[in-house]
Structure 1
């Protein structure tokens, strides 16, 4: 119990909280905002490059062929989550002004970089995490707009294929390039494990600062009543707790190995702010985008903080032979 309480004060958790505070008072503006966004993208590219260099071809093939894990992740992301979103809407748990945003949150794909980063910290199956998170994002390009049209009366007209190019350029391409260069740089990456760890955490912090700061610049805190914000935060906490418990229980019920259950926990319980922002810009009127995105922004911060507490504890409890 004391270890779990102490983990709340882990330097990474404190860094996340500090990043949110910094973005609230000193958000990136103008040219500096563009610089931060570029740095965040560069961190993601470097993260995938290093993971590609670190993983063997056998491990990647094993990750891609783990169809039970991938189907479970997609089922939680695009079936369990939307059902919970409909249930929240039917019971009016969320503040009325945020109802559309909460449902939209549950229809989004999983995160990529943070799912992989936390899986690595927890000493789970990183190869499977790369595949599961990437499959979720690729599927989400088609499934999320379809679910929005079906459940929210929205439209998929004008949905850009630019997201496909972004996923390929920032995630898959550097991963493949790193893997192709593994014969030359793999030993160096293996000897400097702290390098990958720092890139994992640094990329998360940059994405948080960039995304949260952009919302602050758009007047986030001036448009939201404190009571509604607290109610929305409590609802997001409840949703996150339910999904974290459900994904871990599902992994155990399916008999998944510990390292695969870790992947399901982190990939299945997350929702992507990076995917949600461009999708919302296409699927909703401009005046509605800000309020629609607020639930995913809050959920995004909560999931990062919660997983930053959970992942190190899982990593400490992993068998010594699990890398």
Structure 2
């Protein structure tokens, strides 16, 4: 059985599009539920690094049978082990900070801040890759930053400042990791990147478990198991949705996470997002969505231009 591979950015049939949207919607709900499990586990004394370990272990257990197939082994060959190692280090730091932010913050606010990733990635691409950004994207960046200030409201105290800083640090490192993934994607398949990230992360996480790992009661183990299953399922669902529809179709569905997060926060913790979150989140979502879709369109146009410039056979 092959590992899921993203489809080319072509117009799919109506049924494929509906399936892709449905899968992506369920994946967004699974991710929200996974982060809720991280928060619940933290409340029960589970260390954040334990949660990261079991999250990655679940991914390995799901991907390993696929990788052991003939086609899977061929897809996982790589000649960039050090690039994957760098991606693993950055990815582990980002995941740990993101998990910690959900442990420290209300789930809706942590979700809203997390939507800053494409905005920060654009800023980093300007600084690190000297990419040219026009007025439209600068406007989107400014709108997103204003949205974060509205959600966080420094000095207001409606959410812990330490948690907000952890969330923003997680966003920055996740955005940096996305640049590494983009460079890896020039030669490596998403399946290869995903598998080696999950597998290679087990070594440092196993060492960390020697210091933070502990035995838990049945309730905590149940939450840990559910978190691992939800994370692995969401990971596969996100990748599978890209087999069925282009990025421009499925990406907006990810922002449904804020709705799921608000509902979960109300159902479990009896906390509804404060008005500032509902005001700032649309600015973050709108700017992030604009940047992501615009970059996808520019990349598609560049690929088409490259194809046209090739001499015909």
TM-score past 0.5 threshold: no
Q: TM-score category by the smaller chain?
A: 0.3 to 0.5
Q: Tell me the TM-score normalized by structure 1.
A: 0.32
